[in-house]
Structure 1
Amino acid sequence: MRPIYILPVLFILLVLFLSSVFIVDERKKALVLQFGEIMQEKETPGLGWKIPFIQEVVYYEDRILGLQTAPIEVTLLGERRLVVDAFARWRITDLKAFRQATGAGGEERAQVLLGNILQQAIPEVLGKTTQDRVLSQDRTGLMNDIRDIARREAEALGVTVIDVRLTRTDLPEQNLNATYARMRAEREREAADEVARGGEAAQRVRAAADRTVVEETSKARRTAETIRGEADAERNRILAEAYGQDPEFFAFMRSMDAYRKALRGENSTIVMQPDSEFFDYLNSEAGAAGAAPAAPTAAPAAP
C-alpha cells in the first residue's frame, strides 16, 4: 500500500475506534440504544463498546436524587385542612423499566411522575389521621406509610423511593388568619386577666396602706391628746397651787393678762361702760390694793 493512503486509513480507523468506545463514570449508568431499542446495559464504571454511528449511549444518574413536591391541601379527620409538602429521595434501580417508563425524558420525566405519585399518597395517608398527630414531633409512622405507598407505585418506573419526609404542615391562608385572630384574642384575654389581677393586688395594697395611715394617724392623735391632757392637767395643777398660795396676786395677774390680750394691736378699740364688769378688778378694793405698792415693813429689832 502506498504511503499516501496510510494516513487516511489510520485516521478512519481512529475515528471508528473512538466512536465505538464510551466511558461510564462511577456516578452514572448507561444504556446502549439501537434505533430506540435497548441493546446493552452498563451499570459498572469503566469502558464500554458499541457499534459506531448505529448505536447511541444514554447516561442516567446512579446517585440518590431528591424531589421536592408542590404544596398540597389535605383534608384531615374532623374536616380540618392543612397545606402539606414533602421531600423524597429516590434512585434508579432498573434501567430498562426506567427507560420504558420515562422515554427520552429521563430524570426530569421521572420527577414529574414521582411527584404525581406523592400527591396521591400524601392525602391517602393524612386523610385518615388527626391534625394533632400530623403536627406532632412523632409523625415518623405517617411518613413511612407515605414512603411505602410511593415505593410500591414507583416500582413500575424502575426506581426505588428511599425516604419521604414532610417538610411543611401549615394551615390554609383563610384558616391561618382565623387562627391568628383566635390566638390574638386569647392573648388579649390573658393580658386583661393579668391587668385585672394586678389592679386587684394594687387595690389591696392601697387599702392596706390607707388602713395603716388611719391607724397610725389615730394612734398619733390619741397619743397627742393624752400628752396634751397630761400637760393641761399639770398646768392646772401648777395654777391651782399658785392660786392657793396667793389668790389676790393670781386674780391680779389674770386680770392683767385679760387686759393685755384685749388691748393688743395698734387700732384696737373697745366701747363699754365705765362700770362694766371688765373693770371690776381695777375698781375693786382688791385691785386698788393690788395695784398700790406694798408698804415697807419694819425691820425686826436687834436682840
Structure 2
Amino acid sequence: MRGPFALAVLVILIALGLNSFFVVDEREKALVLRFGEVQQVRTEPGLGFKIPLIDIVMKYDDRILSLTTQPLEITPEDDRRLVVDAFARWRIVDAVKFREAVGGGGEQIAKNRIDGILNNAIREVLGSVPSTAVLSDDRTPLMNRIRDLARREAASLGVDVIDVRLTRTDLPEQNLAATYGRMRAEREREAADERARGAEAAQRVRATADRTAVEVTSKAKKEAEIVRGEADAEANKVYAEAYGKDPQFFAFNRALQFYAQSMKTQTSSLVTQPDSLYFDYGRFLRSIGENPGPETGAGRGSASAAATGQ
C-alpha cells in the first residue's frame, strides 16, 4: 500500500504546487484575496504566487470598455422633451476600490452603476440648456460636461470615464408630427417673405428701368426735335435765299414738287376748273414741249431742265 499512497500524496503535492501559481495577462488586473481581504494587487503581466485552497484570484479587464445607455427622455430648459441615448468609454483604474464597490458582481454590476451615473449626468447637463443647443451639430461642450460630471461620480467605483458621446437626440414620436408641421409652417412663412421681398425688389428694378427708358426716350426726342428744327431752319434759310435770288424759279420748283406728290400713284384723280392755278405751270411745260428753242429764255430753259429731271 505504500506505493499507491505515495503516488496519491505525490499527485496531491503536484496539484497544490500547480495551484500555487497564477498568470496575469497583459490585458488584465488581478487581486489575490484571502478570506475576503486583499493580499496582493497585480497590475503587471506575469506569474504570481498564492496559497492554494486559501487565496482566491480575482481578475478584471484592464482594457478600455464600452457602455451604451438606454434611450432616455429629458426635458431641456425650454420644456421641449427630447429622447437621448449615449455611449461611454471607461476603464478600471483602481482594482481594490473597484472590488470594494461592486463586490463579487464584477463588471456587470459596474456597468449598471455607471449607467445610472451617466443618466443622472445627462439629465443634469441637458436640462440646463435649451433644446436648440442639444439639437445643434456642435455638442462637444455638452458632452465634455457630461463626461466630467460622470467621471467625478464614477471615481468612487475605481473606474475612469474616458469619453462620453451623444448618439441620438430626437423628439418623442408623439411630438414629431406637430414639430414637423410647425417647422414646415415656419419654412413656408420664410419662403413667402423671401418671395415678397423679391417681388418688391423686382418692382423697384422695373420702375427704375421704366423711368430710365422714359427719360432716355424723352431726351432723344428732345434732341431729335432740336436737330429737326435746326435742319428745317437751315432748309428754310436756303429756300429763302433761293427764293430771294429767283422767285419765279422757286415757285416753279414748288409747283413741280406739288405735281410729284399729287400724282404719286397711278390711281390719283384730280377734279378742278380748267382755269385753276393748278394748270398754270402745266400749260407752261406743255408750251415748252411744243415750242422748244432759244426763244424760251434762260429761265424757261432751266424750268424745262427741272421738268425733265422730275
TM-score by length of 2: 0.67
The secondary structure found in structure 1 opposite 2:49 is: strand
C-alpha displacement of 1:73: 1.0
CA RMSD of aligned residues (A): 4.3
Identity of aligned residues (%): 41
Q: Which amino acid aligns with 1:43?
A: V
For residues 220-268 of structure 1, the C-alpha deviation after alignment (integer angstroms, 9 at most, x for no partner) is 2112212222222222222222223333333333333333333344454
Match of 1:249 in 2: 249
Is structure 2 residue 96 aligned with structure 1 residue 93? Answer: yes
**Alpha-carbon deviation of 1:47?**
1.7
- Unpaired runs of 5+ in structure 2? 298-310
| d(CA) in 2 for partners of 1:230, 1:181 | 72
2:303 aligned partner: none
Contact 2:154 2:160 in 1 (8 A): no
Give matches, 1:257-296, under 5 Å. 257-282=257-282, 295=295
Structure 1 counterpart SS, 2:275? coil
Query: What is the alpha-carbon distance in structure 2 between the residues aligned to residue 58 and residue 201 of structure 1?
Result: 78
Q: Matched residues in 1 for 2:164 and 2:181: separation? A: 27
1:17 corresponds to which residue?
17
Post-superposition Cα deviations, 1:158-205, rounded to whole Å, max 9, x if no partner, equal x32433755227242445665555555545544444444344333333
- Name the SS of the counterpart of 2:295 in structure 1: coil
Give 1:162's aligned residue.
160
1:47 maps onto 2:44 in alignment: no
Asked if 1 retains the 8 angstrom alpha-carbon contact of 2:29 and 2:60, the reply is yes
Map of 1:72 onto structure 2: 72
> Distance between the aligned counterparts of 2:235 and 2:250, measured in 1?
14
Please tell me the residue identity of whatever aligns with 2:158: T
Question: Are 1:81 and 1:172, in contact at CA under 8 Å, matched by a contact in 2?
Answer: yes
Give the C-alpha shift of residue 216 in structure 1: 1.9
Find the aligned partners of 1:278 and 1:248 in 2 and give their Cα distance. 15
Q: Which residue is equivalent to 1:29?
A: 30
- Alignment CA distance shift 1:145-1:279 (3 Å): same
Change (3 A) 1:256 1:85: closer
Please name the residue that 1:172 is paired with: 171
Task: In structure 2, give the amino acid aligned to 1:231.
Answer: A
Residues 81-104 of structure 1 deviation map (CA, whole Å, 9 limit, x = unaligned): 2333442625243365356352xx
In structure 2, do the counterparts of structure 1 residues 282 and 115 end up closer, same or farther at CA, with 3 Å as the change threshold? closer
Q: Distance in 1 between matches of 2:159 and 2:208?
A: 73
Q: Is the 1:38–1:96 Cα contact (8 Å) retained in structure 2?
A: no
Counterpart CA distance in 2 for 1:41 and 1:246 is: 146
Letter in 1 for 2:29: K
Equivalent pair of 2:147/2:163 in contact (CA under 8 Å)? yes
Would the alpha carbon gap of residues 138 and 95 (structure 1) be closer, same or farther in structure 2, given more than 3 Å must change?
Answer: closer
Taking the aligned partners of 1:51 and 1:80, their CA distance within structure 2 comes to 61
How many Å apart are 1:211 and its aligned residue? 2.0
2:128 alignment counterpart:
129
Who is 1:213 aligned against? 213
Superposed, 1:50-61 pairs within 5 Å as 50-51=51-52, 57-61=57-61
Aligned pair count reads: 282
Tell me whether 1:83 sits opposite 2:98 in the alignment: no
Structure 2 match to 1:300: none
* Residue 165 to residue 74, structure 1, CA distance change in 2 (3 Å): farther
Q: Secondary structure at the match of 1:233?
A: helix
Check the 8 A contact 1:31/1:95 in 2, yes or no: no
Deviation string, structure 1 residues 133-152 (Cα, Å, up to 9, x no partner): 9747544556544444455x
Query: 3-state SS of the aligned residue for 1:79?
Result: coil
Query: How many Å separate the matches in 1 of 2:257 and 2:91?
Result: 120
Determine if the alignment matches structure 1 residue 228 to structure 2 residue 231. no
Q: Does the 8 Å CA contact 1:41/1:95 hold for their aligned counterparts?
A: no
Give the whole-Å Cα distance in 2 for the aligned partners of 1:63 and 1:93.
17
The Cα of 1:40 is off from its aligned counterpart by: 6.2
CA 1:41 to 1:64, structure 2 compared with 1: closer, same or farther past 3 Å? farther
TM-score (norm 1): 0.68
Query: Residues 186 and 281 of structure 1: is their aligned pair in 2 closer, same or farther, counting only changes over 3 Å?
Result: same
Equivalent position SS for 2:256: helix
The whole-number CA distance in structure 1 between the counterparts of 2:246 and 2:38 is 151
